[in-house]
Amino acid sequence: MISYARQSIDKADIKAVLKVLKSNFLTTGPEVNKFEKKLAEYVGSKYAIAVANGTAALHLACLATGLKKNQELITSPITFVASANCALYCGTKPIFVDINHQGLIAEDKIEKKITKQTKIIIPVHYSGLPCNLEKIKKIADKYKLIIIEDASHALGAKYKNTRIGDCKYSDMAVFSFHPVKHITSGEGGMITTNNKKLYEKLIILRTHGITKEEHRFKARNLNLIGSWYYEMQELGYNYRLTDIQSALGLSQLRKIGKIIKKRRQIAKKYDNAFKKHKNIEVIYEKKGQFNSYHLYPIKVKDEKTRFKLFNYLKKKNILCQVHYIPVYWHPYYQNLGYKRGLCPKAEDFYKREISLPMYSSLRDKDIDYIIKCIKNFFNK
Ligand X SMILES: *Cc1c(COP(=O)(O)O)cnc(C)c1O
- Residues in contact with ligand X by CB under 6 A are 53-55, 79-80, 82-83, 124, 150, 152-153, 176, 178, 189
CB of 239 to ligand X, least distance (A): 11
The strand order across the sheet containing 72-75 reads 47-51, 189-193, 172-176, 146-150, 118-122, 72-75, 93-96
Nearest approach, Cβ of 11 to ligand X (angstroms)? 25
Q: Which is nearer to ligand X, 94 or 211 (CB)?
A: 94
The amino acid that residue 343 corresponds to is C
Q: Which residue, 168 or 178, is less far from ligand X as judged by CB?
A: 178
Residue nearest to ligand X (CB): 54
- Shortest distance in whole angstroms from residue 184 CB to ligand X: 10
Bridge partner residues of 172 (DSSP): 148, 193
Q: State the minimum distance, in angstroms, from the CB of residue 56 to ligand X.
A: 7
The residue (of 64 and 280) whose beta carbon lies closer to ligand X is 64
Q: Is 295 or 298 the residue whose CB approaches ligand X more closely?
A: 295
The string of DSSP codes covering 171-235 is: SEEEEE--TTSSS--SS-EEEEES-HHHHHHHHHHHBTTEE--GGG---S--TT--TT--EE-S-
**Least separation, in Å, of the C-beta of 134 and ligand X?**
21
| Nearest distance, CB of residue 151 and ligand X, angstroms | 9
Question: How far is residue 326's CA from residue 323's CA, in Å, rounded to a whole number?
Answer: 9
What is each CA distance from 285 to 175, 210, 280, 306, in whole angstroms? 21, 44, 16, 23
Would you state the torsion angle of the CA atoms of residues 17, 21, 25, 31, taken in this order, to the nearest 10 degrees?
-10
**Residues in CB range of 212: below 8 A, 6 or more apart:** 229, 230
CB nearer ligand X, residue 175 or residue 274? 175
Cα distance between residue 99 and residue 49, in whole Å: 30
* Closer residue to ligand X (CB): 119 or 178: 178
Give the nearer residue to ligand X in terms of CB position, either 191 or 280: 191
From the CB of 130, what's the least distance to ligand X, in Å? Answer: 13
φ/ψ region of 161 (left if φ > 0, alpha if ψ in -120 to 50, else beta) reads left
Q: Which amino acid is at 19?
A: K
In angstroms, the CA 59 to CA 237 distance is 10
Q: d(Cα 239, Cα 250) in Å, to the nearest integer?
A: 18
Distance in Å, CB of 177 to ligand X, minimum: 7
Give the separation between CA 37 and CA 47, rounded to whole angstroms: 8
Please identify, using beta-carbon distances, which residue of 189 and 236 lies nearer to ligand X. 189
Question: Least Å distance between CB 118 and ligand X?
Answer: 20
* Residue 211 or 246 having the CB closest to ligand X: 246
